[in-house]
Amino acid sequence: MSKPLTVRPSPLAGRWYPRDPEELATLVDHYLNVPNTRQFARPIGVLVPHAGIIFSGSVAGKAFSITRDLTIDSVVIVGPSHHPYPARLLSTAHSHYETPLGRVPVAVDLVEALESRLGVRRVANDPEHAIEIELPFLQQALKGTFNLLPIAMIDQSWETSQQLGKLIAELIQDRQTLLVASSDLSHFYPQEEANRLDRVILDAVADYAPQAVIQADEQGQGFACGRGAIAATMVAAQRLGASAAEIVGYATSGDATGDMSRVVGYGAALFN
């Protein structure tokens, strides 16, 4: 007997990105059409930002462009939770996510495994943007359809990040999978200070030092709202064979708006 279809409607369409499918597809394709001067290896994972598409889409596109036309069975998106829940980790209670570009099926078996092994709480009709904002890029970039494992972290400690990363790698080791760490960087500093703070986080990423990402945030040396998501993704990618990270994009909201007084930082990276 098949399980009932329960679709998570988009709370972002018309607000964080266009509601019209053609307009959205055209905009995403614009950000994906990045002229690359060299060939990149197929990434095991990517780091991408999660602001409104007009603010961070150009940076996200620099990582997602490297995934164009890949055939992927499952995509694991790990991000922070911007909303409180009485749990360490969250996933979805729905069978599908919906965007104007179509429905994305959830890898329910993987969600159930996370629930039984790590106590991940499944929630319905969540307002979280950090996962959904990446879906139009994936829908336009990847070849064919894919299943989604969405994970939102409330506890972003190193201990939880390690546990999550190791379990993700164990669960997906026999699948064609793409890992996605969804995180913005510093928030609401002047441009020059934001650049300095963000460089600390991105240097830790480039050094493939996931614990250092969390430590930098905890010590106030740099900031990433998805510090645990970055670390967990790096742990998982490393266990799946990644040994290096490459920064492929950086900008701030000020680069999009012209207001350099209070900016949000955005970074993009590949894990190989």
Residue 184 has pLDDT above 90, yes or no: yes
The predicted pLDDT at position 3 comes to 67
Give the burial string for 202-224 (b: 16+ CB within 10 Å, else e): bebbeeebbebbbbbbeeeebbb
Q: Write down the mean pLDDT value for the chain.
A: 96
CA distances from 237 to 140, 142, 172, 189, 208 (A): 23, 19, 11, 31, 10
The predicted pLDDT at position 260 comes to 97
Instruction: Give tens-digit pLDDT for 51-98.
Output: 999 999 999 999 999 999 999 999 999 999 999 999 999 999 999 999
Residue 41 has pLDDT above 60, yes or no: yes
The predicted pLDDT at position 40 comes to 84
The predicted pLDDT at position 235 comes to 98
Q: Please, which residues have CB within 8 angstroms of residue 228's CB and are 6 or more apart in sequence?
A: 80, 153, 155, 156, 157, 158, 160, 161, 164, 214
Instruction: Give tens-digit pLDDT for 113-139.
Output: 999 999 999 999 999 999 999 999 999
Residue 7 burial (CB count, 10 A) = 13
Residue 2 has pLDDT above 90, yes or no: no
**How many whole angstroms separate alpha carbon 217 and alpha carbon 219?**
5
Mean pLDDT, residues 168-186 taken together: 97
Q: How confident is the model at residue 36 (pLDDT cuts 50, 70, 90)?
A: confident
Residue 1 has pLDDT above 60, yes or no: no
Residue 105 has pLDDT above 70, yes or no: yes
Mean pLDDT, residues 214-233 taken together: 98
Does this model's pTM top 0.95? My answer is: yes
Going from the N-terminus, what domains does the chain have, and what CATH number goes with each?
A: 39-257 (3.40.830.10)
More confident of the two residues 42 and 226: 226
The predicted pLDDT at position 35 comes to 80
The predicted pLDDT at position 146 comes to 98
Instruction: Give tens-digit pLDDT for 191-202.
Output: 999 999 999 999
Q: Which two tokens stand for residue 1?
A: 């007997």
